[in-house]
Amino acid sequence: MATTFSASLRSTRTRILLIALTVALLLGCGLFAAQRARSATLTKKAFTGVRSVGTTATLVHPSHVTGVTHTVSGIYKLTFDRHVDNCSLSATASFHSGSGLIAVFQLENDSVNSGSTADEVVFVRNSSNQVFADGDFDIIALCPGT
């Protein structure tokens, strides 16, 4: 008995299950690969500007920075919403207020004093005489994605 072409295209339970399994497998592999690529390449960033007026320090446009304390002249304690002990930190002087401070920064993790690796102490010194000085600055922390 000869089989016609239209009869060979008829759906059977086995063909439908095989097609469904193939589609599910392809979708699963694609979604897994996309998720792995997205999470493996992105770094976590935390940044803020710090404006110092007199003895008061305020955060300017913070991202993952929850607070700043101005303890004494030239020393600021920043609190992040995550640990920053394995992050790369960079601070730069901000000239938006016209202070003209050219600063040398020293960054230290304050986990010994505060018990938290989410605290960072920033020491600001005048570059000409190395004396602690108040001034505006920006800070960024780049942390590994994992």
What is the reported pLDDT for 112? Answer: 54
Question: Are residues 106 and 35 part of one domain?
Answer: no
Query: Please, which pLDDT band fits residue 43 given cuts at 50, 70 and 90?
Result: low
pLDDT band at 67 (very low <50, low <70, confident <90, very high): very high
Phi, psi (deg, nearest 5) at residue 8? -75, -20
> What would the pLDDT profile of 73-129 be if each residue is shown by its tens digit?
888 888 888 888 888 888 888 755 555 556 677 777 765 565 667 788 888 887 778
Ramachandran region of residue 13, left (φ > 0), alpha (ψ -120 to 50) or beta? alpha
Residue 1 lies in a domain: no
Identify whether residues 79 and 137 lie together within a single domain.
yes
Domain that holds residue 103: 44-143
- Higher-scoring residue by pLDDT: 9, 105: 105
Predicted local confidence at residue 6, as pLDDT: 58
Query: pLDDT tens, 23-41?
Result: 877 777 676 665 555 544 4
pLDDT of residue 10: 63
21 and 77 share a domain?
no
| Same domain flag for 58 and 128 | yes
| 95 and 54 within one domain | yes
Domain count, the chain: 2
If asked whether residues 34 and 57 sit together in one domain, one would say no
**pLDDT value at residue 31:** 64
Find, among 64, 54, 74, the residue nearest to 121 by Cα.
74
The reply to whether 55 and 35 lie within a common domain is no
Residues 48 and 111 in one domain: yes
Q: Examine the domain organization and report whether 31 and 64 are in the same domain.
A: no
pLDDT for residue 61: 92
Any domain includes 22: yes
- The reported pLDDT for the residue numbered 35 is 56
23 and 93 in a common domain:
no
Q: Look at the pTM and tell me if it is higher than 0.85.
A: no
25 and 91 co-located in one domain: no
Counting runs of H as helices and runs of E as strands, what totals does the chain give? 3, 8
